[in-house]
Chains A and B, each alone.
Chain A
Amino acid sequence: MGLRVRLGVNWGVEGCSKRRSKWCVLAGGMAWMGHAGAQQAAPTDVQHLQAAVDMLWLVAAGALVFFMQAGFAFLESGMARAKNTGNVIMKNYCDMCFGAVAFWLVGYGLMFGSNHTGWLGTSAFALHGVPESEYGPLFFQMMFAATSATIVSGAIAERTRFSAYIIGSVIITGLIYPVYGAWAWGGLYGGQGWLKQMGFIDFAGSSVVHAIGGWAALAAVLTVGPRLGRYGPDGRPRQILGHNLTLVALGAFILWIGWFGFNAGSTGAATVGLGKIALNTHLGGAAGALGAMAAMAMTGRRLLMTATLNGSIAGLVGVTAGCHVMEPVFALLTGAVAGAMSVAAADLLERWRIDDVVGAVSVHVVGGVWGTLAAGLFRSGDLFSLHQLGVQALGVLAAAVWGFGASLLMYWLIDKVVPMRASTLDEQRGLDFTEHYELGYPEFQQDAVHRGKHHG
């Protein structure tokens, strides 16, 4: 229909000329609402309505992605001990608050601004005074940025200074995430990222959001070290159980719901393709849980709830890159493999004495890497293309080098200025008490291993 008229500007988004996909309609909407409006025919009522519906979906999907923060907060705080729950929640909450400002000020411009070198955006910083249609993508992407940053919080829960964590979170949202994003998705205001030019497929961010967040989490975990007593004097790991598995499960459910906004919202438009994307997302999550359970069963272990939930999240991460180009059977396969791999990766990290409280690395790095490769392998109409697989592998490698390298350098520098690691006294007392002077569960935390609020 009038789509091509509306897409008066070449936004360089894959599939734009064939169908309405990621950012196409939105970009088109921006064109006729603002930038190019003067040069084009006046929009019809139907076009107005379509643009409004697209924006409605984008904003609703953005709100769903925002809700994922609650999912992360519940899941991570449930996996932490009672004396650190408030701190975990604060970190997740503040990721969004600080991240929103950092991404609006700097991140969005670096990621989506005019990108003629292929490496970095150079416009759209602190976006204001622009046509109304341009604010929707910023709102939506702001939620993505915070999601990437918040992946770190669970991995280094229970032993990290709040101030050091927040500095890291702001830098991830304002710099580390947007730089890689500029390579893979960049160029909403002109130009294209170098990975995008090569045909890199990462629809909603298996690499851009999840692997980058996961690599940053690994760098953070290596910087702060394991929790007190996590490994015995002989080096054998000890389990430190989370204080509330119900919260963990609720968090996983919320994340799953949010993922429909995450993936289906990445179309940037209300299209008929949403159904397939939502279905693939759901199948990926379900198969992830099944894959994790199968991995546990095959290795003769009991079916852990936490590992099952992590498996489903790994499946969701995995299917995120290619949910728009895969047939459902491949979405299922992608999710199942991601789920099984998350179990194996968690074992490996344990063996290497890497104390990742929530399994962020095994879920987001492993799921992200596999999902990005799977998007190249299982692309409809071009199955098992070695060329595409090569491009995907390059994208994965770039995410690893940049995400891990930049984060490791960042945390090393932060550690020099504000020690990342909380003191042993803080760990004893719990970060709720020492960082925030509030107790997550005052009824039974008042008498725990700190002097208590009534002693000042």
Chain B
Amino acid sequence: MADHDPALDAVRWALGSYLDPHDAQQAAALWQPMAPGQSSLVGLSRFCRNVAQRFNLQGREAELHLHIIRALQRQKTAPLPELGTAQPAGPPDQSGPVVRALVLAMQAHASEALGQQFDAVAWRRSAVRHVAGTRLSAVVKAQAEAWLMWPEAPLEGLWPARGAGTRLVNAAYVALAEWLGPVEADACLTRIVRELERSEDVALRAARMYL
């Protein structure tokens, strides 16, 4: 039955990018099949930490986590490609870094404002909760949620202004308003955008477009 678990297929496929076939097989065996009706994402973070410790992938947990999420998403629309198949490279998308910079700056401001009271995990959960309430597609939501839980990783995917990017920034703003109050949140976001507009990184200067 486990062999037909689509989540396991996605895990195997994702692990194939990091480990040789033998290790990948052993690592995949650590995956706990989910109970019927339970989300594949349950326990994924624990699984990634476990694999990283055993197979010398420390520091790449977030990346692996994201890779598995993307495999799970791709699986819903098409069969997973053979390992080693290169994906066509498009022009580099700049939306991810801008949105990432905005959201992380909001987190940093919240941390600075709250000091000892700031709880990074609770903050991320709060942002994830607000992402869940947005009108983003399930796939994009899952991508955002996965990244918010591992914000050290790059924010992959397309996050256009007036679209998913704006909505993700807004979800973080809602969390900020909840944590600091709306007046402080407005002041923070205004300051962040001004700082990014003066950034040396040209891509980040477009931050206002994401409001």
Whole-angstrom distance from the CB of A91 to the nearest CB of chain B?
A: 20
The residue that B181 contacts in the complex, of A83, A229, A448, A450, with Cβ under 8 A, is A229
A447 near B173: Cβ-Cβ < 8 Å: no
Residues of B within 8 Å of A427, CB to CB, are: 182
- If A229-B185, A240-B183 touch, does A429 touch B178 (CB 8 Å cutoff)? no
Alpha-carbon gap, A45 to B130, bound state (A)? 73
Question: Nearest B residue to A429 by beta-carbon distance?
Answer: B211
A232 within 8 A of B: yes
- Flag A77-90 by CB within 8 Å of B: 1 or 0 each: 00001010000000
- Flag B174-211 by CB within 8 Å of A: 1 or 0 each: 10011111110110011001100000000000001111
A449 near B173: Cβ-Cβ < 8 Å: yes
A241 within 8 A of B: yes
Whole-angstrom distance from the CB of B110 to the nearest CB of chain A?
A: 12
- If A425-B167, A428-B170 touch, does A452 touch B178 (CB 8 Å cutoff)? no
A230 within 8 A of B: yes
Question: Nearest A residue to B210 by beta-carbon distance?
Answer: A451
A233 within 8 A of B: yes
Most buried by B among A238, A428, A447, A448: A428
A380 within 8 A of B: no
Alpha-carbon gap, A448 to B166, bound state (A)? 15
Dominant secondary structure at the A interface: loop
A228 within 8 A of B: yes
A17 within 8 A of B: no
Residues of A within 8 Å of B189, CB to CB, are: 428, 449
A240 near B211: Cβ-Cβ < 8 Å: no
Alpha-carbon gap, A88 to B173, bound state (A)? 23
B182 near A240: Cβ-Cβ < 8 Å: yes
A228 near B177: Cβ-Cβ < 8 Å: yes
Question: Nearest A residue to B189 by beta-carbon distance?
Answer: A449
Residues of A within 8 Å of B170, CB to CB, are: 424-425, 428
A241 near B186: Cβ-Cβ < 8 Å: no
A227 within 8 A of B: yes
Most buried by A among B167, B210, B211: B211
Alpha-carbon gap, A228 to B170, bound state (A)? 12
Alpha-carbon gap, A255 to B180, bound state (A)? 35
- If A425-B166, A447-B194 touch, does A228 touch B178 (CB 8 Å cutoff)? yes
Whole-angstrom distance from the CB of A214 to the nearest CB of chain B?
A: 25
A455 near B209: Cβ-Cβ < 8 Å: yes
A407-456 at interface with B (beta carbon < 8 Å): 424-425, 427-429, 447-452, 455
Residues of B within 8 Å of A241, CB to CB, are: 183
Alpha-carbon gap, A190 to B179, bound state (A)? 60
Additional 4 contacts, C-beta under 8 A, given A83-B186, A424-B130, A447-B193 = A228-B178, A229-B182, A230-B182, A451-B208
Closest 4 CB pairs of A and B: A229-B177, A229-B182, A238-B181, A228-B177
18 residue pairs bridging A and B, Cβ less than 8 Å apart? A81-B182, A81-B186, A83-B186, A227-B182, A228-B178, A229-B178, A229-B185, A240-B182, A240-B183, A448-B186, A448-B190, A449-B173, A449-B186, A449-B193, A449-B211, A451-B208, A451-B210, A455-B209
Q: Which residues of B contact A (CB under 8 A)?
A: 126, 130, 133, 161, 166-167, 170-171, 173-174, 177-183, 185-186, 189-190, 193-194, 208-211
